[in-house]
Amino acid sequence: MDIPYTSKPRPDTGLYNAKVGIWLFLASEVMLFGALFSSYILLRVGALEENWPHGLLNIPIGTFNTAVLIISSVTVVMAWASLKMKQFGRFKIFQAITVLCALAFLGIKSFEYKDKFTHYEVWKTDGTRMTGHIEGNPMFLTKAKLVAAGKDKIEFLADPHHYSEGKLKIGAQSGEHKHVEIAIGDIKRLSAFVPAHSTYFAIYFTLTALHALHVLGGAIVIGFLFGPGSKMWHTDPDRFTNRVEVAGLFWHFVDLVWIFLFPVLYLL
C-alpha cells in the first residue's frame, strides 16, 4: 500500500505530508533559536558596558558570509523553480552552487573561529587588562598551562585598544600594536576568546556553532538531493520536486537565522 499525499496535496489542508512535517520542525527550531536570542538580549542588557566584549568580530568577514548565504538562498529557490519548469540540468547547476556556498560559509566561519582561539585577553594583577596575541600564535593557552609548562614569561603583541574603550576605537584601528613581555607572576588570568572567556563568547559560540551545525546538516541534505537522491527525478518527478522544496524551506530558515544573528553579534 502506498503512503498517501507524498506528492499530491491533502484536500483538507492543501499541503503534502513533507510540507506539514517541515513546518512543524521549523516551529520547534524557532523556539530553540528564540530562546537563545532572548538569552543573549537579556545577558547583553544586564551586562556592564566595560565587561561586554564588542568590536572584536570582523565585520567585513561577517558581511561576506552574509552575502554568501543570501546568494545560496537565491540558488536554492532557482533549483526548485528549474524543476518546476522541467529543467533538470539547470537544477543540477543551482544545487551545486548552493552546496559550494554552504561549504564556503563553513570554511570562512572556521577561519573566524581559529582567529578567536589565538586571540587572548590578559588580566594583570595590577588591575589592567589587555588583548592581543601570544608569540607563536598558540591556541587555548591558560595561566595553569603556562605554569605547568614551566614558563616564567610570555611575549605578547598587545592590541592598540582594549574593548572596554568602546567599539568605535577598536573599529578605527588607530594606534600600533605593542610588543610587551609579561611575567607569569604578573598574570591574574589568561584566556583566549573561547566560551570560557566571558558570557559574551559563551553565547556567541553557542549561537554560531548551533547555526553552523544547521548549515552543515542542510548542506548534507542538499548535497544528497544533488547526487544520489536525484535519481528519483526519473521515477517520481513530483515527489522529488517536493523534496527539493522542503530542503529549500529548511535552508531559508537557516539563512533567516543568520540575517538576525549577523547584526546582533557583529554590530550591536
Partner 1 sequence: MSLKAFHVIFITAASAMCVGFGLWMLRDYRTPEGSAGDLAWAIGGFVVGAGLLVYERFFLKKLKSVSYL
Main-chain dihedrals φ then ψ at residue 130, nearest 5 degrees: -150, 150
Q: Does 196 bind partner 1 (CB under 8 A)?
A: no
Taking the complex as a whole, the smallest distance from the CB of residue 258 to partner 1 amounts, in Å, to 10
Query: Residue 237 is placed in which grid cell?
Result: 518527478
Q: Does 108 bind partner 1 (CB under 8 A)?
A: no
d(CA 146, CA 127): 20
Site string for partner 1, 110-149 (x = CB under 8 A): ----------------------------------------
SS3 179: strand
d(CA 134, CA 127): 20
Question: How many residues of this chain bind partner 1 (CB under 8 A)?
Answer: 31
Which residues are within 8 A (CB) of 92 and not within 5 positions of it... i.e. 6 or more apart? 226, 230
For residues 129 and 252, which CB has a smaller minimum distance to partner 1 in the complex? 252
Name residues contacting partner 1, limited to 4-33 (CB under 8 A). Answer: 14-15, 19, 23
Taking the complex as a whole, the smallest distance from the CB of residue 73 to partner 1 amounts, in Å, to 6
Taking the complex as a whole, the smallest distance from the CB of residue 117 to partner 1 amounts, in Å, to 27
DSSP string, 29-85: HHHHHHHHHHHHHHHHHHS-GGGS--S-S-HHHHHHHHHHHHHHHHHHHHHHHHHHT
Question: Which residues contribute to the site for partner 1 (CB under 8 A)?
Answer: 14-15, 19, 23, 59, 63, 66-67, 70, 73-74, 77, 80-81, 84, 168-169, 171-172, 174, 245, 248-249, 252-253, 255-256, 259, 262-263, 267
